[in-house]
Structure 1
């Protein structure tokens, strides 16, 4: 992942990315190219083959601001459900008719909450029973597809259904269940970045963060983490940029407490982000 110097959303930024990609493609054979132009002016890519250019050569270019490895990130859930599991897939054809609980109705005066996770089972009646304008889950996108494991090629589509994990649906259920008592919701956004194995990559995670900004979410929950300890990872930097836009960013601190009190994973390490954790002691 490479961040360039021009401000995102400008003609100059578009030209800078195009020129940068042209320049490095004279040496490297690239694949899975992703461009960013909302929170950051940058690109992400994989190098298949190429010449003798090194990352040091790239970082020496005058328009390169920062370079990061596009490493994997994991969802902060201890359980990986399988497709059809009764733990989350309650809206299968066999069981949907048995669910008679009240669906939460969107409040036009409420807040818009984005959930970057495994998608949402929006067919569940407690979560509105539909997807799109007028539904509780009104926004969303699947950035990865079921088979994505953080390393292979993503297969995105416009349907953010939680197909095989359940964690995003769980998070959405907690948010919706508290709406009556604490606040009102105008819409939820389901931004699916986890495949069935509960893994993603930083390049995908940043794409979802940009979509959150484009969709004007006011709050975003991210139960995903990558690097420990530092706020210099790209997901932490982009989470800070969301916070600077006035978006309330809530991120899980991770599941690495056995490594010490400081073992918080990004993006929860970012300034301006609310890091959430639970504590448990057997003593």
Structure 2
């Protein structure tokens, strides 16, 4: 923990009505100078009073205070195409994959661009790296070369259920596996490949099998994706991508702030999906010229 953060938390522990302050994540001061913590005690019964106390502590000037928000897991529509129907199209393997034609990825492949030498950090539900289309292994020399599991299988949003480990493998959700395949799937019997099959992936699992995550976990994953040392490549991902079920049109949320600061201070492009939330209207902005393509039922993109 950084000294300024420790001093601040110690001062908060000394406040009347505070029984315990438990640090959850202390983020890199170079990228996002913040700390996530849980407070227990009678003072938590009056959140406005607790907030004023935290803002008024002289030990550290606090610019923003945010509650930890739950982040729902990303969803996907399931078996749009079953395996047998994909296998029936495998005879077209030598032809162009139609989604790649739509966005002209096929043109890049023809020119020899496959993403070689690029590292992409995927912040999502984890990945089934055992899948043959994703290389079947995890670690140096593999397609899924680096990553981390921040949550474990049973995280329900409460800190006590966090069970992090060094392997982002999962097979209970599948969304992160889907995203990884869209990016980098290798040639396979079903006749498709990813948009950039030459990249190396770093996958950061932020959703449990129960579909739970929180904004402080997501921020920790983004920062780790930017800072992880990757064998033979150096420090950090070249691109960070995130697909979550978090609904917000505001740039001042902690997750948006963290992504913006990481991108600004490292130069790493941080990409977030526009989402599938057509039920929330064209846009959460009042500006009449700003619209989200996810609003259209027959949309071409997220």
* TM superposition score normalised by structure 2: 0.70
Cα distance in 1 for residues equivalent to 2:278 and 2:212: 20
- Aligned residue for 1:240, secondary structure, equals helix
- Aligned residue for 1:185, secondary structure, equals coil
Cα distance in 1 for residues equivalent to 2:14 and 2:186: 54
CA deviation vs aligned residue, 1:106-143 (integer Å, no higher than 9, x gap): x8942101110111111111111111111111110000
Report deviation, 1:281: 4.8
Give yes or no for contact 1:110–1:184 (8 Å, CA) kept in 2.
no
> Within 5 Å, which residues of 2 pair with 1:188-199?
188-199=201-212
With over 3 angstroms needed to count, the CA separation of the structure-2 counterparts of 1:169 and 1:181, relative to structure 1, is closer
With over 3 angstroms needed to count, the CA separation of the structure-2 counterparts of 1:182 and 1:256, relative to structure 1, is closer
The farther-off stretch of 29-38 and 131-140 is 29-38
Give yes or no for contact 1:250–1:276 (8 Å, CA) kept in 2.
no
The answer to whether residue 168 in structure 2 is matched with residue 160 in structure 1 is: yes
The answer to whether residue 268 in structure 2 is matched with residue 247 in structure 1 is: yes
* TM superposition score normalised by structure 1: 0.74
- Aligned residue for 2:26, secondary structure, equals strand
> Within 5 Å, which residues of 2 pair with 1:1-283?
14-27=2-15, 28=18, 29-31=20-22, 33-37=24-28, 38-51=30-43, 54-62=50-58, 63-78=61-76, 109-153=116-160, 154-177=162-185, 183=196, 185-215=198-228, 216-244=236-264, 245-263=266-284, 277=294, 279-281=296-298
- Aligned residue for 1:110, secondary structure, equals coil
Give yes or no for contact 1:34–1:44 (8 Å, CA) kept in 2.
yes
Cα distance in 1 for residues equivalent to 2:5 and 2:23: 15
Which protein is bigger by CA-based radius of gyration? Answer: 2
State the partner residue of 1:269: none
Q: Considering fraction of residues, name the structure with more helix.
A: 2
Cα distance in 1 for residues equivalent to 2:118 and 2:293: 20
Cα distance in 2 for residues equivalent to 1:276 and 1:190: 26
Name the Cα RMSD after superposition: 3.0
Structure 2 runs not aligned, ≥5 long: 84-92, 94-113, 188-192, 229-235, 286-291
Structure 1 runs not aligned, ≥5 long: 1-12, 82-86, 89-100, 102-106, 265-274
Q: Considering fraction of residues, name the structure with more strand.
A: 1
Report deviation, 1:262: 1.1
Give yes or no for contact 2:184–2:199 (8 Å, CA) kept in 1.
no
